[in-house]
């Protein structure tokens, strides 16, 4: 697994590089946001927010705009607003310093498993619905549907196994954050938006008190 570590503090970066390398990961470390944007593609990005040239949130936004690479923010910014903004801009997980090395390693493996589970092998077709994971495009009855990032991720998760029930907690942990503790109402809002945009309220079925499934 190739890891891109974006961290300008040598005291933090050097032990991380050594530890991850001992675990068999190939690590490239850069110290600026621009270097992160110029770096070769990786399997996972560990991104500090306090960079000397660009704000880490802007780096996160640009990385996500061009790639589906899993991004784990590692930062001293622990306020809820920072977590929310980071996750909404495309981060897959958010870890506040100081953190344990074993926890970081577990988070890396978790986001990598989730990415592998949804890696594109071709468009997913469910009835009149087609989801292209590679290009992140969705069409319904041949017409393209404009979705936000979270709406697409939610739909893609349900579409990986049409007809299978996904619990509310499973969806929140997979699409939002592995340690989500915000309001679950956000899931209902996104499901309602998906139903409206797809033009068929029955395409996503609700199992009351449990979760949701994509109609097979």
Residues 31, 5: contact at Cβ < 8 Å?
Answer: no
Residue owning tokens 């209902």: 188
Select the highest-mean-pLDDT range: 8-22, 83-97, 113-127, 137-151: 8-22
Q: What is the pTM of this model?
A: 0.58
Q: Which residues are paired to 94 by β-bridges?
A: 73
Among the residue ranges 18-22, 59-63, 181-185, 190-194, the one predicted with the least confidence is 181-185
Cα angle vertex 102, ends 107, 9, to 5°?
85
Looking at the chain, which residues constitute the CATH 3.40.50.2300 domain(s)? 2-117
131's CB contacts (< 8 A; 6+ apart) are 123, 124, 125, 137, 138, 155, 156, 159
DSSP-derived 3-state class of residue 201: helix
The C-alpha atoms of residue 40 and residue 175 are separated, in whole angstroms, by: 26
Query: Region 201-214: what's the mean pLDDT?
Result: 91
Residues 183, 171: contact at Cβ < 8 Å?
Answer: no
CATH architecture of 2-117: 3-Layer(aba) Sandwich (3.40)
Q: What is the CATH number of domain 124-214?
A: 1.10.10.10
Looking at the chain, which residues constitute the CATH 1.10.10.10 domain(s)? 124-214
pLDDT at residue 71 in the model:
94
Query: Region 91-117: what's the mean pLDDT?
Result: 85
For 118-151, write each residue's pLDDT tens digit: 555 568 888 889 998 878 889 998 899 999 888 9
Tokens at 199, concatenated: 């033009």
């Amino acid at each position: 697994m190739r890891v891109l570590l974006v961290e300008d503090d040598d005291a933090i970066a050097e032990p991380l590089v050594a530890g991850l390398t001992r675990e068999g990961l190939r690590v490239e470390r850069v110290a600026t946001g621009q270097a992160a944007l110029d770096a070769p593609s990786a399997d996972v990005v560990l991104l500090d927010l306090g960079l000397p040239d660009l704000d880490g949130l802007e780096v996160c936004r640009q990385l996500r705009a061009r790639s589906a690479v899993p991004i784990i923010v590692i930062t001293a910014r622990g306020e809820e607003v920072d977590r929310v903004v980071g996750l909404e801009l495309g981060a897959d997980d958010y870890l506040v310093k100081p953190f344990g090395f074993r926890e970081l390693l577990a988070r890396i493996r978790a986001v990598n498993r989730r990415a592998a589970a949804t890696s594109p092998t071709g468009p997913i077709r469910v009835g009149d619905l087609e989801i292209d994971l590679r290009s992140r495009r969705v069409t319904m009855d041949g017409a393209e549907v404009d979705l936000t990032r979270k709406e697409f991720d939610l739909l893609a998760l349900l579409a990986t196994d049409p007809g299978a029930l996904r619990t509310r907690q499973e969806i929140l942990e997979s699409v939002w954050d592995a340690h989500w503790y915000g309001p679950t109402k956000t899931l209902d809002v996104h499901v309602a938006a998906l139903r409206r945009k797809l033009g068929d309220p029955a395409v996503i079925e609700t199992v009351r008190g449990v979760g949701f499934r994509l109609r097979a």
